[in-house]
């Protein structure tokens, strides 16, 4: 970085569109997430995204987001956008992945 230049704080986002649930398909999941990803990219965010993610992949994306925030140094904004199903159990907010029967709370992503 040139002398006197300042680093802009990072703006990072995870954008996920979930629509292919086994019990019922959501109409807007992936298209709305795609539009949000484009809008955030235009606003200067570094966006990682995905569509119809399984529990393993969704958990890895969340881990990746946390690691990106740690590596970025100064972070202005960390944003998570999920178009899909969510739940709240015992005060915990959970992201619900596709393709997994939700028999246990461990099948969801905190």
Q: What is the pLDDT of residues 45-98, one digit of tens each?
A: 999 999 988 888 988 999 999 999 998 888 889 999 988 888 787 888 877 778
The predicted model scores a pTM of: 0.77
Q: What is the pLDDT of residues 7-48, one digit of tens each?
A: 678 899 999 998 887 777 777 667 889 999 999 999 999 999
42: number of Cβ within 10 Å: 8
Residue found by looking up tokens 């904004």 in the block = 77
List the beta strands (DSSP E) in the chain.
10-17, 46-51, 75-83, 86-89, 92-95
Give the C-alpha separation, 109 to 92, whole Å.
10
């Amino acid at each position: 970085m040139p002398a006197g230049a300042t680093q802009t704080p990072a703006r990072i986002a995870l954008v996920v569109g979930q629509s292919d649930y086994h019990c019922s398909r959501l109409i807007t999941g992936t298209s709305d997430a795609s539009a949000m990803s484009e809008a955030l990219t235009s606003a200067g965010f570094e966006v990682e995204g995905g569509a119809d993610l399984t529990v393993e992949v969704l958990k890895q994306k969340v881990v990746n987001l946390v690691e990106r925030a740690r590596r970025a140094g100064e972070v202005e904004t960390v944003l998570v956008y999920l178009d899909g199903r969510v739940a709240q159990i015992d005060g915990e907010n959970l992201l619900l992945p596709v393709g997994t029967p939700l028999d246990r709370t461990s099948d969801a992503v905190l």
